[in-house]
Structure 1
Amino acid sequence: MRIYHSISIAPFTTMLSFPTLLVFIAFACFCYLFKSQRPAQLQKARRPSLPPGPKPWPIVGNLPEFIKAKNETSVSHWIHSFMKEMNTEIACIRLGNVHVISVACPEISREFLKKQDAVFASRPLTMATDVVSKGYMTTAFSPFGNQWKKMRRVMVSELLSKARHRWIYKKRVEEADNLVRYVHNQCKNSDEGDLVNLRLVARHYCSNVMRKLIFNRRYFGEGKVDFGPGFEEEEYVDAVFAIFVRLYAFCISDYLPFLRGLDLEGHEKVMEEATRVLEKNHNPIIESRIQQWRDGKIDEPQDLLDVLVSLTDDNGTPLLSVNEIKAQINEIMIASVDNPSNVVEWALAEMLNKPETFQKAINELDNVVGKDRLVQEYDFPQLNYIKACLREAFRLHPVSPFNVPHKSVTDTTVAGYFIPKGSHVIVSRIRLGQNPKLWDEPCNFNPERHLQDRNKGEQVELEEPELRFFSFSRGRRGCPGVVLGSSMAIMSFARLLQGFEWDIPANQRTIDLSPGKRDSFLAKPLLAVAKPRLPPDVYSFPS
C-alpha cells in the first residue's frame, strides 16, 4: 500500500468515552495539585475582567466541552457557536491553565497584532510544531527569543528579500509554464475536453515551485510523462497537508503537556510519520549539498538551499547548523503550499457557479495580455479583477478557521479586558471575513466589492492591512513570504483562466461549495472539464 494513502489529512475523530473522560479529569486534578499557584499579580482584586466566555469547570476549565466538541463537530465550530450566542467579538476559553482568547473584530485584532504586537510576539509550544521544527529551530513556529530573531533575519534578509525574489524569477516562470503544459497534456486530445482535478493541479504547482526554488528540481522521483507528479510527489504533498491540518489543531496535550506521549488522539503518530516522509526526500539532498560546499565543488549559490548552506558568521564559520537548515526547509515547504493552492481552488469553484464573474476575469486577461502569449508577472499590476477574485476567495474561504496563534509574553489589557501572560490569542479568519458589520451580503462571492474599496488608480493587492479578512498573517510574526505567496496565487489562477476553457462536469448542475466538516477546504476536490483556448503554438515549451 502506498504510504501517502495511509496518511489521512482529516483530524482524528475517535470518541473519548465518558469513563475515559472521568479518568482524564481525575488525572488532571491530581497533577494540578502539584502545580504552583497563580502568580500573585493575577489575584489582584481590581484588575479588569477576562473576556466573556463559557463558564469554566474547577481546575480543568472548559476541557469537557472542548473534548465533546472535538468528537461531535470541531473545536472551531464550538468556539464560533458560543461567540455568536453570547454576541461577543472577543471571548476567553480556559483549557487547563491556558487562557485561549478568540477574536472576531478587526479593531480588536489590530490592537493585538499591531498596537501591542510586541506583547503578542511569541508562539505557543505544541506537540506538532515541536516535531516539525526539530525543537523550535525555525522562524514561524518558534517562541519569541534569540533563535527566532536569528532565523527571522535569515528569512527576511537572505531568502525572501526583493533582490532574492528577482533572483529566483526564472525558476518561477519554469513552473508556471509546466503548470500550463501539464493541464494541456490532460485535455489536448479531446474536442469536448477532459476532466481535470484542480485541487491536485493547484497543490502540486505550489509544491513544484518550492522544490524548484529550494532544491532546483521539480521532482524527487521521475515524475510522469505528462509532466505531472509521480508517486514521490503525491506522497509528499499528502504528508505536507497531513502536517498542516495538525499544526495548531487544538490537541489536548498542548494544554496538558504531561499527556504528551500517551497520544490520546493519534496526532503524534501521524505527525511523526508525515515528517519522516518530508525528511526522507529532503535530508539526502541537504546532506549531499553541504558536503559539496565543504569539498569546494560549489562556490556560487544556484538555489535557496545553497543560500542557506553558504551563510557564514563574522568568523567565516557556517551560520546555520545542519539541523537548523533541515528544520527551516521543513517549515518553508509546509507554510508555502496550503494558502495559495486553497485560494485558487475556491476562487475557481465559486466562479464556475457565476458565469458572468468568470467571463469578466477572462475579458480582463484578453484585454491586458491577449491570446498570443501567456500571462507573466509583469502583467500583475493591470490584473485588478483577477486579484479582486482572489481577495474575495481569501475573505470568504480562508485556509483555516483561525490565524496562527500568538502567545502573550506579559500581562496586558486589550479592549478593556485583562489578558494574562501566556494566553493563546487566535483571530477568527472566518468571522472577520464574513462579518456583516464589515461586508454587505457577506456570504455572497462578489469580487467587485474589492474594486469599489480602492482609490482611483490604486492597484488591488492580496494583502489586507486593516485585518478585515486574512490573506496572509500579519504583525511581527506575520508571513515574511507575502510577495512570493501572492505571485504563486496570482500566476496559477491567471494561467489556468487564460489557458483553458472550464466547464462544470456534465453530470452536475453546479459546483458543490460545501466545506469539509473538520477543515476549511472544499469537501470534495474541485473537478472541472478543461479545453485549450489559446493558439496551439502558445502551448509549446522548451523540453
Structure 2
Amino acid sequence: MEVTFSLATAAGVLTGLLPVMVLVTATFFFVLFYSQNPNEHGKDGGSGAGVGAGLPPGPAALPIVGSLLMMLWRKPHFRWVLRKAEGKDITCIRLGNVHVIVVNSPELAREFLKKNDAVFASRPKTMATEYSGRCFFSVVFTPWCDQWKKMRRVMVSQVLNHQQFQKMAKMRVEEADNLVQYIQHQSKAGEEINLRKTLRYYTGTIIRRMLFGCRHFGKGAKDGVPGPGEEELEHVEAAFTVLSLIYSFCASDFIPSLRILDIDGHEKTMKKAINVINKYHDPIIEKRVQQWRSNGGVNGEPENILDVFISLKDDEGKPLLRIEEIKAQSAELIFVTVDNPSNTVEWAMAEMLNQPDILWKAIDELDRVIGPHRLVEESDFPNLPYLRACAREALRLHPIAPFNVPHVSSIDTTVAGFFIPKGSQVLLSRVGLGRNPKIWEDSMRFNPDRHLNEKNVDLAEPELRFISFSTGRRGCIGGQLGTAMTYMLLARVLHTFTWSLPAGEGPVNLSEEESSLFINKPLHALAKPRLAFLEHY
C-alpha cells in the first residue's frame, strides 16, 4: 500500500508539474528560435497548412506554444497583439494551436462577416465566457449550437423587439431625468463631477430598471441624495471587471492544460467578480420565479425583462427557460449594456472640452431644436445630426475594447486568398479599423464633421469601417437600445449644463490607460445649469 500510495502521489505531482515543464522547455526553445530566426513567417505561415493558399502573414511560431510565450511576456496582452497587427490588413498569430486572425481592413472584414458569415458564426469557449454565461446558456458569447439558437430567438422576438423597446421608453426617460437631478445636486454643492461614475450610474440604472424593475439593489445613496449606493457601485465595478476579462488572451484559452496554473490570475479575479454579480442577481431572480409560479407574478402581466423571461412558455405550456438560462441571460444583459454608452460619452466630452468650437456647435444645435423650456426626448434624435456625429466619432476613435467579439471558423476555408484553418479565431480590430489612416483622413483627430456627408449619420456602421454593432448572424441585437442610451446620455449632459474644467487645469489628457482603452484618468469637470427651470427641478 505504501509503494502504491507513493507512486500515485508521485504521478499526481508530475501531472501537476507537466504544464510548468512544458512552459520551461518551450521557453528555452523559444529564445533559441527567435534569436536565430527573428523574421516573421511568409505566406505559408511556416506551417505548411492549406494547399494552394497560405496563412496570412504573422510572427514566426514555435511548435506547440506558437507565439504564446512572446505574448505572455508582454502586458497587457492585447497591446502586444495590436502592435503585431499594426499597419497590416490581416495578420495571423498562432497562440498554442489556435490561429488568431487579426483584421484591420474593412474590405477583408466584410469578406469574413458578410460573404462568409455562415462559416464564422461561432464563438470560442474560454475561461471567462464559461463563467459569464454559466457554462454557455446565454446568447452573445455562446458558440454556435441549438442553445444559442434558442436564446437568440428569445432575445430577438420577445425581449429586444420594437414593441418591448417602446414599452420601456418611460423607464428610459425617467432615468434620463434622474441623471439630470444627480448632476444638478452635485453642481449645487459646488462639487467636481466625476463623469465616469455619473455616466456609468446612468447606464447601470437603466438596465437594472428594464431588467429587474428596480433602480437600486439597496437604498441608494445615503441621506436621500440622488445617486448610486455602495451596492450599485460594487455591482457596476464587478460588471466592468468581467468585461475586462472577456477574451483577454488568457493563456489557458489556447493551451487548456495551463488552466490549473491561472498564470495571470484571471480565473481568480473572474470568480470574485461573478460572485458579486450573482450576489445581487440570484435572490431577485429566484424570488420572482417563485412569485410567477405561485400566483402568476405581481400583477399578472410582465412589467420588465425578467418577467418576460419567466412568463415565456413552450408548446406544451411549460416554462420555456430554465432558471440557469434566466440567470445567465440576465447577467449578460448587464455586461453588454453598461459599457459602450458611458465610455463613448466620457471620451466625447473629453474631446469636446479640448475643442470648444465642437462643444458649442453641438450645444447650438440642441438649443435650436429643443430650446430652453424642455428636456431632450428620444423623438428628437432624428433632428440632431451633429450630436449623432459627435457620438459616432467618439465611438470610431475611442472604442470600448480593442477587438470585436471573436468569430470562430467552423471549417477549413479560404478568404481573400488566405487559408483559414478550422477553429481559427477571427478578431476585427476596433482600433485598427477605426483609426486606419487608409480609411480615415487625419484619423487620430476627433472630427465629427467627417460624418455629416454620410447618407445616414448613425452609430451603426454596416460597411465595417469601424465597429459599432458588427453585422451578420452574430451582429449585436441590442443596437437600438445602445444607440438610444448613447444619444440620450450625450444630449442631456450637453443641453442641460455648461461644462468647464476645474480651475488651474489645462486641456484634458487624452492618453489611454495602459491596461484598457479607457481615458487615462476618469474625467472630472464642473457643471453649471444652463436652463432656468432646472433651478426648481
Contact 1:386 1:490 in 2 (8 A): yes
Contact 2:50 2:419 in 1 (8 A): no
- Per-residue CA deviations over 1:227-267 (Å, capped at 9, x if unaligned) read 10000001111100110000110000000112223212111
SS in 1 for 2:482: helix
Mapped to 1, the partners of 2:284 and 2:346 lie a distance apart of: 31
Partner of 1:259: 258
Once the two structures are TM-superposed, the CA of residue 78 in structure 1 deviates from its matched residue by 1.9
Mapped to 2, the partners of 1:214 and 1:59 lie a distance apart of: 45
1:87-126 equivalent positions in 2, closer than 5 A: 87-126=87-126
Contact 1:188 1:532 in 2 (8 A): no
SS in 2 for 1:69: coil
Mapped to 2, the partners of 1:537 and 1:26 lie a distance apart of: 67
Contact 2:403 2:428 in 1 (8 A): yes
Partner of 2:34: none
* Structure 1 letter corresponding to 2:510: L
Change (3 A) 1:228 1:46: same
Partner of 1:49: 54
SS in 1 for 2:200: helix
Mapped to 2, the partners of 1:290 and 1:487 lie a distance apart of: 30
Once the two structures are TM-superposed, the CA of residue 292 in structure 1 deviates from its matched residue by 0.5
Once the two structures are TM-superposed, the CA of residue 23 in structure 1 deviates from its matched residue by 5.1
The answer on 1:67 being equivalent to 2:75 is no
Partner of 2:277: 278
Contact 1:119 1:410 in 2 (8 A): yes
Q: Give aligned pairs, total.
A: 498
Contact 1:503 1:528 in 2 (8 A): yes
SS in 1 for 2:436: coil
SS in 2 for 1:260: helix
Partner of 1:162: 162
Contact 1:180 1:539 in 2 (8 A): no
Mapped to 2, the partners of 1:214 and 1:55 lie a distance apart of: 47
Once the two structures are TM-superposed, the CA of residue 321 in structure 1 deviates from its matched residue by 0.1
The partner residue of 1:512 within 500, 506, 509 is 509
Partner of 1:308: 309
Once the two structures are TM-superposed, the CA of residue 189 in structure 1 deviates from its matched residue by 4.5
- Structure of greater relative contact order (alpha carbons < 8 Å, 6+ residues apart): 1
SS in 2 for 1:501: strand
Once the two structures are TM-superposed, the CA of residue 132 in structure 1 deviates from its matched residue by 1.3
The partner residue of 2:483 within 476, 486, 499 is 486
Q: Which runs of 5+ in 1 are unaligned?
A: 1-19, 30-41
- Per-residue CA deviations over 1:390-424 (Å, capped at 9, x if unaligned) read 10001100111111111111111111100000000
- Per-residue CA deviations over 1:287-306 (Å, capped at 9, x if unaligned) read 11011011115221011100
The partner residue of 2:210 within 213, 237, 242 is 213
Partner of 2:229: 230
Change (3 A) 1:538 1:187: closer
The answer on 1:288 being equivalent to 2:293 is no
Once the two structures are TM-superposed, the CA of residue 123 in structure 1 deviates from its matched residue by 0.3
SS in 1 for 2:315: coil
Mapped to 1, the partners of 2:401 and 2:160 lie a distance apart of: 24
Once the two structures are TM-superposed, the CA of residue 471 in structure 1 deviates from its matched residue by 1.8
Q: % of aligned pairs identical?
A: 51
Once the two structures are TM-superposed, the CA of residue 188 in structure 1 deviates from its matched residue by 2.3
Once the two structures are TM-superposed, the CA of residue 535 in structure 1 deviates from its matched residue by 1.2
SS in 1 for 2:336: helix
Once the two structures are TM-superposed, the CA of residue 115 in structure 1 deviates from its matched residue by 1.0
Mapped to 2, the partners of 1:300 and 1:45 lie a distance apart of: 56
Mapped to 1, the partners of 2:140 and 2:189 lie a distance apart of: 45
The answer on 1:379 being equivalent to 2:384 is no
Contact 2:409 2:422 in 1 (8 A): yes
* Structure 1 letter corresponding to 2:385: N
SS in 2 for 1:110: helix
Partner of 1:345: 346
Mapped to 2, the partners of 1:161 and 1:107 lie a distance apart of: 30
Mapped to 2, the partners of 1:98 and 1:25 lie a distance apart of: 20
Partner of 2:36: none
Once the two structures are TM-superposed, the CA of residue 470 in structure 1 deviates from its matched residue by 1.2
Partner of 2:35: none
Contact 2:464 2:470 in 1 (8 A): no
- Per-residue CA deviations over 1:446-472 (Å, capped at 9, x if unaligned) read 000000233xxxx42111111111122
Contact 2:49 2:55 in 1 (8 A): no
Mapped to 1, the partners of 2:472 and 2:218 lie a distance apart of: 38
Partner of 1:472: 469
RMSD: 1.8
Partner of 1:197: 194
SS in 2 for 1:295: helix
Mapped to 1, the partners of 2:422 and 2:534 lie a distance apart of: 62
* Structure 2 letter corresponding to 1:449: R
Once the two structures are TM-superposed, the CA of residue 517 in structure 1 deviates from its matched residue by 0.6
Partner of 2:445: 444
The partner residue of 1:82 within 81, 84, 102 is 84
Contact 1:500 1:530 in 2 (8 A): yes
Once the two structures are TM-superposed, the CA of residue 155 in structure 1 deviates from its matched residue by 0.7
SS in 1 for 2:217: coil
Once the two structures are TM-superposed, the CA of residue 523 in structure 1 deviates from its matched residue by 1.0
Change (3 A) 1:27 1:92: closer
Contact 2:462 2:470 in 1 (8 A): no
1:402-421 equivalent positions in 2, closer than 5 A: 402-421=403-422
